[in-house]
Amino acid sequence: MDAGTRTGQVWSPVITPFNERLEPDARRFAAHCQWLIDQDVGLAIFGTNSEANSLTVQEKCRLLDALVEKGVSGERLMPGVGSCSIGDTVALTQHVVKSGGTNVLMLPPFYYKGVSEEGLFRYFSEVIERAGASNLRVYLYHIPPVSQVPITLALVERLKKRYSTTIAGLKDSSGEWENTASLIDAFGDDMDIYAGSENFLLQTLRAGGAGCISATANVNPAPIAALARHFQKEDAGSRQQVLSQVRRVFEGFPMIPALKAATAHYGSDDTWSRLRPPLVELSEQQRNELYQALDELNFSMPDYATSV
């Protein structure tokens, strides 16, 4: 699953482990990333479910360096680099490129609400110009339920016109299939459009989109990747139903704590339960409910405990 194949790609916004001092645990992080790669899933590190906006630029750079030291190829990476600060976004973007990567996932500046299209265009333009990398490929990150700063079709069109080779795609985490379909219709011929959940994976692929960048690819990567590879087969609909069942279980809890609780449980390593404030772990009752619901679906994370 290499960047550029355009169809059937699945990426995981990789969860971030923390030690008892609430510092990122580079060893566990690298091991989790390698397990995901082994399941044919790419690494959208520093995404929403990575607790990225609770990490400093320096911490992100160190985690990225740990992956590079382990031999992870740049084509397997799509690091999230967006922040409210142009300088921080540029610094991390440049570090990605220096480390051998080309793909970055970029949030809009999200603190100020109600900003104009012109302001957002200037922000992305400043980042691209200052990054100064001809091989940079920017994937815009539309997540209005969280950011409250939407990336409109008009803005995408304007950025694509100015930076035709740099603006490579978009992740749509609006949760609205109509919006994803509109993006594919408008830009799918020369941009990679990703759904933000595997709930929409089959629809996205059938409409000509690239795949999905999904939180639950952290814990259910192989079945999601299998549907992406085999979406044209007769059993694709039933595969999608099974994926959506698992997704619904996780959506019944705060997503990031649930992902970490499942990883701790199936990996027999409670370190994974730890989150950075203001996020907190699931209660004991919530954890038990999560595990019971997953057991009823015969859910597992194959080879996870031994590989990580």
Query: How does pLDDT run across 283-300, given as a tens digit for each residue?
Result: 999 999 999 999 999 999
Domain regions of the chain by residue span? 9-220
Q: How far apart are the first and last CA of the chain?
A: 21
- Please list the residues that pair with 167 across neighbouring strands: 138
Query: How does pLDDT run across 254-293, given as a tens digit for each residue?
Result: 999 999 999 999 999 999 999 999 999 999 999 999 999 9
CA angle, residues 228, 234, 239, in degrees to nearest 5: 50
Determine how β-strand 211-213 pairs with β-strand 42-43.
unpaired
Superfamily of domain 9-220: Aldolase class I (3.20.20.70)
> Tokens representing 92?
């991390």
What is the distance between the alpha carbons of residues 230 and 194, in angstroms, rounded to a whole number?
Answer: 17
Query: How does pLDDT run across 46-69, given as a tens digit for each residue?
Result: 999 999 999 999 999 999 999 999
Q: Of 215, 203, 136, which is closest to residue 176 (Cα–Cα)?
A: 203
Query: How does pLDDT run across 7-53, given as a tens digit for each residue?
Result: 689 999 999 999 999 999 999 999 999 999 999 999 999 999 999 99
Q: Of 62, 57, 173, 63, which is closest to residue 107 (Cα–Cα)?
A: 173
Burial of residue 20 (CB within 10 Å: 0-12, 13-18, 19+) is exposed
Instruction: Give the number of residues written for the chain.
Output: 308
Q: Where are the beta strands (DSSP E) in 24-63?
A: 42-43
Query: How does pLDDT run across 193-213, given as a tens digit for each residue?
Result: 999 999 999 999 999 999 999
Q: Please list, in sequence order, all residues whose beta carbon lies within 8 angstroms of the beta carbon of residue 145, skipping any fewer than 6 positions away.
A: 173, 174, 175
Q: Where are the beta strands (DSSP E) in the chain?
A: 9-12, 42-43, 103-106, 137-142, 167-172, 192-195, 211-213
